[in-house]
Structure 1
Amino acid sequence: MSNIYQPAGGLFGKVRRLAARAGVRRSLQTDFSAPVVSFTFDDFPRSAALNGAPMLERRGWNATWYTAMGFLGTTTHLGEMMERADIEALSARGHEIACHTYAHLDASHCDPVVFADDCERNCAELMDLGILRPRTSFAFPYGEASPGTKSALQGRYGAMRGVRHGINRKGDDLNLLKAVALDGGKAGLEKALRAVHEVDQAPGWLIFYGHDVRENPSEWGCTPDFLATVCEAVAALDLPVLTVGDTLAMISDKPLRASA
């Protein structure tokens, strides 16, 4: 699991991802007349919990932590990974601990039954730590899905997230939600800031996803200054920040409306 992943490229990779997007869709029914922002972290590295979470908490925000329990207490190319105490502390402070499979499997190369069983193992280990609702939402490792794995999981989670760039609006797929990366250095920061201003002008659900948060980040991580700049942009526009689970609870009751 610590090996650096290289997604399939070329025509084969493109066709496979198009098939995953087109198959087994669950349409988002909400007309967003007010924006909502969610911060999510995948896997997750300790640096995100130690450096990233306090930035959000100072503004009264919580994040969704897609946790792959097979990484517990290990070190990967993302740095030191989460420990039991990190998961428990984040949950106690109101963050959402959600599922990311146990062994960080690539759904596009995995039998759907095996993939679903691995997710169940992950949920069981989280519940052993006292996490009562790990099935609120799910993120596909590497952002890779397939129609078969979407079908196997769609009855288990309120929503599932990929890594395709974009803001979610009515008609988008709850089985493969779009997201905006917190990585990529200066160019990535500019893309993230554009997304903040876009969701303010054309409301929808902007989900950020990141990995490590440290001064010398991995290719899939960002610096503390990067994350702080994104947080400042969100706060400057007074955009509401909710966990993925809280957003799902809100939109299941009624469409989001701008406050009076």
Structure 2
Amino acid sequence: MISFSFDDFPESALRTGGAILKHFGLAGTYYASLGLMGKDTATGRIFGPADLGVVCEQGHELGCHTFSHCHAWDTATRAFEEAIIDNRSALHDLLPGVEFQTFSYPISGPRPLTKLRAAEHFLCCRGGGQKFNVGTTDLNNLSAYFLEKTRHRIELVKDLIDHNRQALGWLIFATHDISDNPTPYGCVPGFFEEVVRYAVASGANILPVVEALKALRSARM
């Protein structure tokens, strides 16, 4: 199982990254901090209101990233949970009837109590770790592999996909912007497309995070 996710949801993640996924008949997960909407940030220009509807129309998943992109470790647990609730309220105002089902911790891994509180709001929560998920897995802190960390080493990513296939794991890729001139937190379109192409060729089932979770749960029943 493989999932592709985008933290912060810069415009290019949908317009360029989403177009690449669509070319292969795939969908991804876009983790949005609605307080950043329309702003220029370290990961590029962030999505606008219309982009939220496009995500849903194209079959992608819209995930939560707190309202104000709160640091998962440095932010007090109560304030962090309030930012989750604020993000959900903002989503209801913009897209009535749409719900966040999964979550991505901004910037770092969470405090233990923060993880406990976040778990009350979502089916699963995703962190980092640069590895795939296999065996007994913490659904409140799923591992992910950030593509920008090896964006000049495609062979490392391909090896990871191969190992994930052999282990029958769940590999969640993450990044931010997809651009010809990416920020330090993103990658170029050619690299991203090569990763997607190799993932497809591996025979993996490629789904947004929430759909992958549901598929894995069904397979165990």
TM-score, length-normalised on structure 2?
A: 0.95
Cα distance 1:131–1:217, how it changes in 2: closer, same or farther (>3 A)?
A: farther
Picking from 97, 108, 130, the partner of 1:132 is 97
Q: CA deviation at 1:201?
A: 1.6
Matched letter for residue 100 of structure 1: H
Picking from 126, 133, 139, the partner of 1:168 is 133
Counterpart in 2 of 1:38? 3
Counterpart in 2 of 1:60? 25
Aligned to 1:142, the other structure's residue is in SS state coil
Distance in 1 (CA, whole Å) between partners of 2:111 and 2:215 is: 28
Counterpart in 2 of 1:186? 152
Task: List 4+ stretches of structure 1 deviating above 4 A.
Answer: none
Counterpart in 2 of 1:32? none
**1:122-142 deviation per Cα after TM superposition (whole angstroms, max 9, x unaligned):** 111112222634331100001
Matches within 5 A, 1:1-260: 36-130=1-95, 132-184=97-149, 185-187=151-153, 189-255=154-220
Distance in 2 (CA, whole Å) between partners of 1:131 and 1:225 is: 36
Runs (5+) with no aligned partner, structure 1? 1-35
* Contact persistence 2:37–2:47 (CA under 8 A): yes
Distance in 2 (CA, whole Å) between partners of 1:66 and 1:242 is: 15
Distance in 1 (CA, whole Å) between partners of 2:215 and 2:167 is: 19
* Contact persistence 1:99–1:134 (CA under 8 A): no
Distance in 1 (CA, whole Å) between partners of 2:201 and 2:207 is: 16
* Contact persistence 2:134–2:167 (CA under 8 A): no
RMSD: 1.4
Distance in 2 (CA, whole Å) between partners of 1:170 and 1:238 is: 20
Matched letter for residue 214 of structure 1: S
**1:29-70 deviation per Cα after TM superposition (whole angstroms, max 9, x unaligned):** xxxxxxx10000000110111100011111111001100111
Distance in 1 (CA, whole Å) between partners of 2:166 and 2:7 is: 28
Query: Percent sequence identity over matched residues?
Result: 31
**1:213-254 deviation per Cα after TM superposition (whole angstroms, max 9, x unaligned):** 001111110000010110110121221111111112223333
Whichever of the two has the greater Rg, that structure is 1
Matched letter for residue 213 of structure 1: I
TM-score, length-normalised on structure 1?
A: 0.81
Distance in 2 (CA, whole Å) between partners of 1:237 and 1:164 is: 22
* Contact persistence 2:73–2:108 (CA under 8 A): no
